[in-house]
Amino acid sequence: MAADASGEPSTSLVVLHVAEKPSVALAIATALSGGQRFRSVDGALPTHEFTARLPLGNAAPSLRRHRVTSVRGHVFALDFAPGPLDSWDADPEGCFAAPTLKSPCSAGVVGHLSAVARGAAELVLWLDADAEGESIAFEVAHVCEPHLSSRKSVLRARF
């Protein structure tokens, strides 16, 4: 890793951490920052920023800038397209082949994730390890990945 003018390693690499709700994001930032003060920015959702030397995946600990934010549950809603499934007497078997529509639950959350992901090298997903958390993790990755730097990697936190 390149050094800056002070001889310290460059902190130009940014790690984006995304939790399932704002209170968990704050707890993660507090724990990972090692008790140091961090900067919090209010937007669609709070984002906490700090610099720390932490291991990621199989890599040795290195000094990086960290952004910790969250979503508020699902990022997208999935519904059936308008049509014959609109009534209660629709054939249940038709549900398996019916077209669906995916739409953002909140344009503000999608915009927030896109903005905080811009230029980050790593994305760490801190979502619950249940079926719903896994679904939300894929939704977050879907929004964030196009905005990550060319060195991108997506990691799943286990806790």
- What does DSSP say about strands 62-70 and 14-19: parallel, antiparallel, or unpaired? parallel
Q: What is the pLDDT along the chain (159 residues), one digit of tens a residue?
A: 344 444 444 557 899 999 999 999 999 999 999 888 888 888 789 999 999 998 877 778 888 999 999 999 999 998 888 876 666 677 788 778 888 899 999 889 999 999 999 999 999 999 999 999 999 999 999 999 999 987 778 999 987
101, β-bridge pairs: 79
On whether the CB atoms of residues 147 and 111 are closer than 8 A, the answer is no
Output the pTM of the full model. Answer: 0.84
The CA distance from 68 to 120, in Å, is 12
Sign of CA dihedral 116, 117, 123, 129: positive
Helix (H, G, I), strand (E, B) or coil at 113: helix
Measured from the Cβ of residue 156, the count of other Cβ atoms closer than 10 Å reads 14
Torsion angle, alpha carbons of 68, 15, 50, 118, to 10? -80
Q: Distance from CA of residue 48 to its chain's centroid?
A: 13
